[in-house]
């Protein structure tokens, strides 16, 4: 019985090593689907226009979320100023809201950069 278990384990180890070697060997041979093969602009301006419009919609949604989060921060700050003692729950909510505002600001900046790149791409397609 021990001999049979040893054979199965040995065959499994060989199969795993062969699979790893084949995967490593073919990693450079196949094109990467996440990156385009060339840096050329897409031929379809409608696709770029659609992506740009989607980014504008996302940007507007992020700005609404940011405005709501900033309003929440202001309400919490006013509540902190009006109370004599520092309430741990309010302070925690304020810190959480400030972190959310910072994350939304970063997302908004990333979206603005994407919009600028897409507008540049669309202008390149038009000319």
For residue 99, with 0-12 CB atoms within 10 Å meaning exposed, 13-18 middle and 19 or more buried, which class applies? exposed
Residue for token pair 């000319």: 127
> Which residues, including other chains, have CB under 8 Å from residue 80's CB and lie 6 or more apart?
86, 87, 90, 91, 94
| Average pLDDT along the chain | 77
58 Cβ contact partners less than 8 Å away, ≥ 6 residues apart: 111
Question: pLDDT at residue 109 above 80?
Answer: yes
Predicted model pTM = 0.45
Kindly list the domain boundaries of the chain, sorted by start residue.
53-127
Q: Which one, of 63, 69, 65, lies nearest residue 99 by Cα?
A: 69
Confidence of residue 35 (pLDDT cuts 50, 70, 90): very low
| pLDDT value for 11 | 93
Residue 41 — pLDDT band, cuts 50, 70, 90?
A: very low
Q: What is the pLDDT of residue 38?
A: 44
């Amino acid at each position: 019985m021990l001999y049979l278990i040893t054979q199965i384990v040995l065959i499994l180890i060989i199969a795993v090593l062969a699979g790893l070697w084949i995967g490593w060997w073919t990693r450079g041979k196949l094109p990467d689907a996440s990156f385009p093969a060339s840096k050329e602009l897409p031929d379809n301006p409608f696709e770029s226009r659609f992506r740009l419009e989607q980014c504008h919609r996302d940007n507007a949604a992020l700005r609404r979320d940011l405005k709501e989060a900033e309003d929440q921060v202001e309400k919490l700050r006013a509540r902190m100023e009006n109370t004599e003692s520092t309430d741990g729950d309010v302070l925690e909510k304020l810190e959480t809201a400030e972190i959310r505002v910072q994350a939304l600001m970063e997302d908004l900046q990333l979206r603005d950069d994407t919009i600028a790149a897409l507008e540049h791409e669309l202008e390149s397609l038009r000319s």
